[in-house]
Structure 1
């Protein structure tokens, strides 16, 4: 009796399919929780009776974690894409396209037309593991996540190419009261978007589409969103019952043609041999050699404690601090002597308001008439929500709260590192005030949620998981890389048979390395300082604390209340700033407290923000999601000068119809990338030649989605991805042609050794032509032009336009060129004039100036997500780098300065160091390779001039929670510095 067995060992599950006489007689699907080889043995053992003792078995192994098992056991291995094709050919032969999502793997196989197979690389975004991570974030099971999504009313924009990006979108939504149902459905839509944009990469998904893999079988909302997005009816979208086991079934089909045969006993023996195979990996030294060393470590850190007193015996005034963080909520009540009377620490569970209400009710019951809470303060991601909900007296930015707490334990502290659930905050202290702030931007691989996600995926709590690593003899060296790469490293360790203890210890070391070398960018321990305080819930993990001390080679201070430092600092702030009468709601109001959430769309300005309206009863409301202060119900602030807004309106006006008869038809210009700089030139030039120019609309998320199907690369920056939508927008407008030239060089401003354009900007028209199918038979004009030399440009333009349009004469082109250069010069002059007006306004009214240094397209509201308006809401005048760069001498830099926009930013940074009330904020679009060069140079210019360097990294993520923290932190540090300077002046 011949039996074929296929075993699919994926990143999170093991599947087995047994085929006899062409019929599947057994299939099983189970999570392996990192015990890959043991689980494979278990599944075959459980199928033993069905296979039969006398069966002649042909077996093949597949899957992302299957190669190591196959090598160690000697069993045939089949690559999973090939296994997929085998399964489809046998079970669903009519399929045109196969989409398969696994635990950490995703693939698309195009079967008709040109055969093509595409798999995700080292990124697990948009896979089952991503969905699992998001379920953990919402504190539900994956099944419950799917059930929640059925009740959704709206879809939020959520990035999915990495769990880190998604958390940056989701966590603020939860903290602001967004409905879990809406967030759940948005998560599934994000998976769809990642598959279409990240895997299809410009190739159209059409015809009969077969959906395989566990996520696409178990999650009905995911099925629905795929059908809706790809516009597939039930006859063309196939979700077979075999979906979770299809790859194992393909392996079983492949096994038919293998030479090796097994009995049940010999097959089990081969798999057991693999389970016992020795580990092959790079080792790290153990964290602790023995228990005595660990106990000494604990005694040393045990001295940094704080006095406690039970709230039930205390009498007098008390001060409440709340830290509503990205993943946890903390409360601390202190007495007159700074002693802790009460504390609480728990997960937000997606609704911090309920946690606070429950704990505040408990606290009032414990206080009775003996303890009077006379002042309160809140910090963290949920600060605004909680302050509005409960009438908390003060809201303060996290960095200030943590500094206040650290100073209590170590008055001479000169460096603080706080690692929370999703954030790393590092700040240097100079002259007893915050001098420099570093926050993680787009990556949380050095944070608590990073290690917690691994723990949960392996079936452990974070506490259990971390304890396992304390005494591991051979920790695995996983390097210091981002989460998605770390997933690959862990998978490799699993393939090699690494134990949980070795993986746990290795991850603890990796968290520390990521924090030190990716966020702080430390070159040596001296960069950190002599008196280092570490805090945040992540440092309660002894394995991470030990790794940190070993890595920097010196002892640090970890307060015993490390996880409560934000709340303790807030309580100290409340005590330092006690109001005449607290506004914190009492038990009478709290007993009737209710929290309801609804969605709304703001129509007060062109942003049309999606708002989340939180109602707490008694007339208390909190509205989030707005990019300005208008929907909050307060009086409208005076509108401050904002060059970002001025430039956008100026450029938009250039797209208005000329009102003149144009004999040569309409030419569309995409309103993106370098057109944000050169629009005055091209509109003037083309209209002078008799063309009516039509501008694509200002970027929106819907426009991006419209062009998403033709984006061939997921790693290119968001501004470039938007161009696909702009092309579709122009085609919808019915223009006769689209003009988008390739330009290797930019305008030479004489401030750099060369004047190159970014390679993406320079040649993106070529990519659009090759990937947007509608352009194949359309007049898409993409000549190679150089504007840096006017004479050469005239020659190029005459050759192109007179050749294409014989009725145009050389003199016309030359005259149009002269008018275009003048229009561009006038535009530059207007920017400088508006900049001087804005600076004069700030100086006259005693306001700070925010010099936002970026690229011309950062004016696009869909790219900057309203950051200029957010900064303006802090009473700052907004000036762009192109308004001030020429006001400072060329600064010395330590890199080859060959980019026009870089040289502008360097000049703007230098200007800020000479202007007392100016602060620099650099915008960087995530994925911009050449901007990586500018970061260290901009920081050096600012810090050498005594200014704080602030960088905001932006991408598709539309939530500005992290940006707001950084801006407030910068402003708080500036204010502290001014107070100190004033005190020194007086003394």
Structure 2
């Protein structure tokens, strides 16, 4: 038998193994290929010429990037799942499941009976590429990230759907003083959650599980998170010694069936094969000549503040600090906006240390000649920096950027700011911010998007950006998310595109994301006539040029584009007209100290993950809290209809009007049960059942049912139902009742009265995917409450068949249930009127929060209602005001009960000068892509601001705070205009 060679060419690495006749491993190699797949494989094979020269060998290639190489070289190929299965069956034959993580691939293979494999799609979230991105974000190597994770004290919830989502969760934790050790472990936990929830798709992981692939081979912290999460012992968690090369070993085993060839012939095939090239989709160049670029540069360089020499200037100065998501910026200005000093640098996950160092530098340069009269801070780290250094003012980013833009272009009517992860766009009307658009959970149109690729290709971002300026054939890469585009970039490289072509293409991708996905503009006129662009990303001339080309008009980019937030903050500090700043002085900075420790607040059911920052002199700042309780203050007691509704519904348990003699009926407290619980509670208790509600939603409850969730893209409220029904099974109720309801109550204001498909049919999905439901009696009949007479008839038959309840008794209970539901709705309306009256008596603004009934759940909204009332708003919900408007035609098909309420609430808010509206939407809700546009249209046509808060299973409220504070600042600016 010949020696067998297995070559596994993955998305980021090449693995080569040699097996002898007894399947013993003679050689193994694991190397990164940096997109040079054929060259890397050839280099490794050449390195073992001494071992194989003159011999006939059997060779097979496998791996996600191996097929192209195999076809081009004429070498046999085996699909990687079969290769992995062959190795597992040979070396660990009693395996029940395999979890394999690669560079951009993640797989779970179930053994036993037929082979079943689950694999990630086109997103590389939860893979080695994701871990690489996170290490880069934290400015550590992957090995250092692993070492840090082993010293963690707590785990933060972090999204791992893709790298840019996770950055949105990680950056605020780091900026607010969170420990790197805890964040490192949380990153690995996110990978585990993504693998378990995204790939098991409802099938339970149990028995002996083998862990394969580079990340699981090299990273002990990642192993630890998998073992703890899946509750595995040493016999059931297997980490093979050569787990990083198992697919290559499987390929070698599969080579047994092929004909041997001389080793030199294999080398020649690989050396002679030219990778298949295809036509690359290209775009026109950004600049056709140096002269065109010079004219472009001269036009934009005209927008610059005067520069003042800090070494000779004497007089007052004002400081602005922008503690952004990935960078820290500072600007020290004179009264006329002249620049004395600027700073722009990555915050390296520790903005406090950066600002401390910079303040010491500034004081040393100022000497006794310059007195800082005011200091203001903006950005993600605003609260932390303001508290750490006693700044005079903290202001929301939107207002800081408007101040800066108006300084250079007084007639500005549209501002777009693209930073590291955030994109802020706002229209200006009559000297005030009129509407605000921010990117959602994805930052694919932002600076981190292009920085990721620059680093992956071995460039710093400045050099990488310049490469594309004169590319004659920019690659059309579309406008997708970062990890999706990894494969597009690699394919373009294989097709012969140069780094210059890719750089130019990525610049255009950023612009298309901004215009068509965040702003969603139909034409340049949708933006405005006087557009100011700012943010560090627009320092990239390629991005700026692509933006002007896409819009077909010139825009203004100040030379200080990257520090406009800090510059605007400095202008705001100047406008305070203080005689003296509270900013820490030289002596105080010498004594300055800062430590941060994690904590979990137990003062309410939110269980906020806190970071307690301690400074010298006993000063303290707590971040991560959604209310003022952890600060020792009483929470806001302003009227809050979301909290009132939730507390009222949670109180509905027990026997009510009955005696409980017919048994205990479990009702999962989720989705449409928030709307219909008063009805069902009254019905069952009148029929002498005892109603048992599932527990309050929590992260722990979600994790209880996580393994049974078949879809990673369904909304978080639906995912929670799996934990709710499992908790009811554990409670030992006699039956669980959760009906399928295609129709909701008909309120007469819409074209139809459907429930959304998820809400309508989720009981069917639970029945099919939650094994524990087979241990109990799970009742999920199809019912419709929109036709009382039909329901009376159907319910009386169903209750007679299921429980032998006389039909007359059921009819009587149904009438009582409808009356109870009507009383509940009237109570909410009366409570809403009471709250509005109180708000007006006290002169407080009123915020209508419009969403689904289940958005009142604290685990789903993450305490957004507490945050809103902490800013001084009285909170009412859409159902407290929607009834005040009649049916009206809409631009969209208005066939959903909940949406019709939101439309009517928005119409009503437009008639009330002291009301504004925020729409809550669940991430992953397709229907809300339509309702959001319609709500925006109603509100903006009525002269109101539109604010949307998109919520999922991640509880960090950094972006939510920006939106609410931007809304408040815009309201205030309108009052003054």
Above 0.5 in TM-score? yes
| 1: CA distance, partners of 2:887 / 2:501 | 52
- Stretches of structure 2 that go unaligned for 5 or more consecutive residues are none
Residue 340 in structure 1 maps to residue 339 in structure 2: yes
Moved more, 57-66 or 514-523: 57-66
Superposed counterparts of 1:101-140, under 5 Å: 101-140=101-140
Residue 810 in structure 1 maps to residue 811 in structure 2: no
In structure 2, what is the equivalent of residue 376 of structure 1? Answer: 375
Q: CA deviation at 1:656?
A: 4.8
Q: CA deviation at 1:459?
A: 2.7
- Cα pair distance change 1:565/1:269, threshold 3 Å: farther
Map Cα deviations across residues 913-943 of structure 1 (whole Å, 9 max, x no partner).
1111111100000011111110111000001
CA RMSD after TM alignment: 1.7
In structure 2, what is the equivalent of residue 36 of structure 1? Answer: 37
Q: Secondary structure at the match of 2:466?
A: helix
| 1: CA distance, partners of 2:14 / 2:58 | 18
Superposed counterparts of 1:779-928, under 5 Å: 779-806=777-804, 808-928=805-925
| 2: CA distance, partners of 1:480 / 1:433 | 32
Q: CA deviation at 1:569?
A: 0.7
Moved more, 132-141 or 36-45: 36-45
CA contact under 8 A between 1:283 and 1:475: conserved in structure 2?
A: yes
| 2: CA distance, partners of 1:841 / 1:68 | 70
Q: Secondary structure at the match of 1:100?
A: strand
Q: CA deviation at 1:24?
A: 2.5
Residue 705 in structure 1 maps to residue 703 in structure 2: yes
- Cα pair distance change 1:904/1:262, threshold 3 Å: farther
CA contact under 8 A between 1:852 and 1:880: conserved in structure 2?
A: yes
Moved more, 731-740 or 59-68: 59-68
- Cα pair distance change 1:412/1:36, threshold 3 Å: farther
Moved more, 19-28 or 619-628: 19-28
| 2: CA distance, partners of 1:679 / 1:109 | 41
CA contact under 8 A between 2:152 and 2:181: conserved in structure 1?
A: yes
Superposed counterparts of 1:934-973, under 5 Å: 934-973=931-970
| 2: CA distance, partners of 1:966 / 1:853 | 15
Residue 553 in structure 1 maps to residue 563 in structure 2: no
| 1: CA distance, partners of 2:35 / 2:465 | 15
Superposed counterparts of 1:143-542, under 5 Å: 143-259=143-259, 261=261, 263-264=263-264, 266-275=265-274, 277-542=276-541
Q: CA deviation at 1:539?
A: 1.0
| 2: CA distance, partners of 1:805 / 1:294 | 81
Q: Secondary structure at the match of 1:455?
A: helix
CA contact under 8 A between 1:667 and 1:739: conserved in structure 2?
A: yes
- Stretches of structure 1 that go unaligned for 5 or more consecutive residues are 981-987
In structure 1, what is the equivalent of residue 691 of structure 2? Answer: 693
Q: Secondary structure at the match of 2:545?
A: helix
- Cα pair distance change 1:467/1:43, threshold 3 Å: farther
In structure 1, what is the equivalent of residue 50 of structure 2? Answer: 49
Q: CA deviation at 1:476?
A: 2.0
| 1: CA distance, partners of 2:75 / 2:496 | 17
| 2: CA distance, partners of 1:633 / 1:724 | 36
Query: Number of paired residues?
Result: 976
Map Cα deviations across residues 122-181 of structure 1 (whole Å, 9 max, x no partner).
111111111111111111111100100111111111111222221121111111111111
Taking structure 2 as the reference length, the TM-score comes to 0.98
Q: CA deviation at 1:638?
A: 5.2
Q: CA deviation at 1:299?
A: 2.4
- Cα pair distance change 1:889/1:385, threshold 3 Å: same
- Cα pair distance change 1:858/1:719, threshold 3 Å: same
| 2: CA distance, partners of 1:274 / 1:963 | 54
- Cα pair distance change 1:340/1:395, threshold 3 Å: same
In structure 2, what is the equivalent of residue 19 of structure 1? Answer: 19
Q: Secondary structure at the match of 2:425?
A: strand
| 1: CA distance, partners of 2:260 / 2:522 | 55
CA contact under 8 A between 2:282 and 2:475: conserved in structure 1?
A: yes
| 2: CA distance, partners of 1:925 / 1:148 | 33
Q: Secondary structure at the match of 2:261?
A: coil
In structure 2, what is the equivalent of residue 984 of structure 1? Answer: none
CA contact under 8 A between 2:68 and 2:276: conserved in structure 1?
A: no
CA contact under 8 A between 2:69 and 2:275: conserved in structure 1?
A: no
Map Cα deviations across residues 813-841 of structure 1 (whole Å, 9 max, x no partner).
00110011011000000110111111111
| 2: CA distance, partners of 1:84 / 1:850 | 56
| 2: CA distance, partners of 1:849 / 1:270 | 73
- Cα pair distance change 1:733/1:973, threshold 3 Å: same
CA contact under 8 A between 2:729 and 2:775: conserved in structure 1?
A: no
| 2: CA distance, partners of 1:108 / 1:687 | 46
CA contact under 8 A between 1:15 and 1:27: conserved in structure 2?
A: yes
- Cα pair distance change 1:355/1:690, threshold 3 Å: same
Q: Secondary structure at the match of 1:472?
A: coil
Q: Secondary structure at the match of 1:618?
A: helix
CA contact under 8 A between 2:404 and 2:571: conserved in structure 1?
A: yes
- Cα pair distance change 1:212/1:165, threshold 3 Å: same
Q: Secondary structure at the match of 1:256?
A: helix
CA contact under 8 A between 1:399 and 1:969: conserved in structure 2?
A: yes
Map Cα deviations across residues 297-319 of structure 1 (whole Å, 9 max, x no partner).
22222222222123222111110
CA contact under 8 A between 2:636 and 2:866: conserved in structure 1?
A: no
| 2: CA distance, partners of 1:211 / 1:915 | 60
In structure 2, what is the equivalent of residue 756 of structure 1? Answer: 754
Moved more, 625-634 or 512-521: 625-634
Superposed counterparts of 1:593-672, under 5 Å: 593-634=592-633, 636=634, 639-656=637-654, 658=656, 661-672=659-670
CA contact under 8 A between 2:657 and 2:686: conserved in structure 1?
A: no
Q: Secondary structure at the match of 1:151?
A: coil
Q: CA deviation at 1:348?
A: 1.1
| 1: CA distance, partners of 2:657 / 2:906 | 42
Moved more, 156-165 or 603-612: 603-612
Moved more, 332-341 or 658-667: 658-667
Moved more, 969-978 or 88-97: 88-97
Moved more, 648-657 or 866-875: 648-657
CA contact under 8 A between 2:636 and 2:869: conserved in structure 1?
A: no
Map Cα deviations across residues 94-136 of structure 1 (whole Å, 9 max, x no partner).
2110000001110000012453100001111111111111111
| 1: CA distance, partners of 2:678 / 2:699 | 25
Q: CA deviation at 1:876?
A: 0.4
Q: Secondary structure at the match of 2:257?
A: coil
Map Cα deviations across residues 305-359 of structure 1 (whole Å, 9 max, x no partner).
2221232221111100000000000111111231111111111111110111111
Q: Secondary structure at the match of 1:770?
A: helix
| 2: CA distance, partners of 1:115 / 1:101 | 18
| 2: CA distance, partners of 1:274 / 1:306 | 57
CA contact under 8 A between 1:65 and 1:494: conserved in structure 2?
A: no
- Cα pair distance change 1:32/1:891, threshold 3 Å: farther
- Cα pair distance change 1:69/1:501, threshold 3 Å: farther
| 2: CA distance, partners of 1:880 / 1:277 | 59
Q: Secondary structure at the match of 1:76?
A: coil
CA contact under 8 A between 1:18 and 1:51: conserved in structure 2?
A: no
| 1: CA distance, partners of 2:927 / 2:965 | 28
Q: CA deviation at 1:273?
A: 4.3
Q: CA deviation at 1:276?
A: 5.6
CA contact under 8 A between 2:683 and 2:817: conserved in structure 1?
A: yes
| 1: CA distance, partners of 2:253 / 2:294 | 57
Of 711, 718, 721, which residue of structure 1 is paired with 2:719? 721
Moved more, 319-328 or 71-80: 71-80
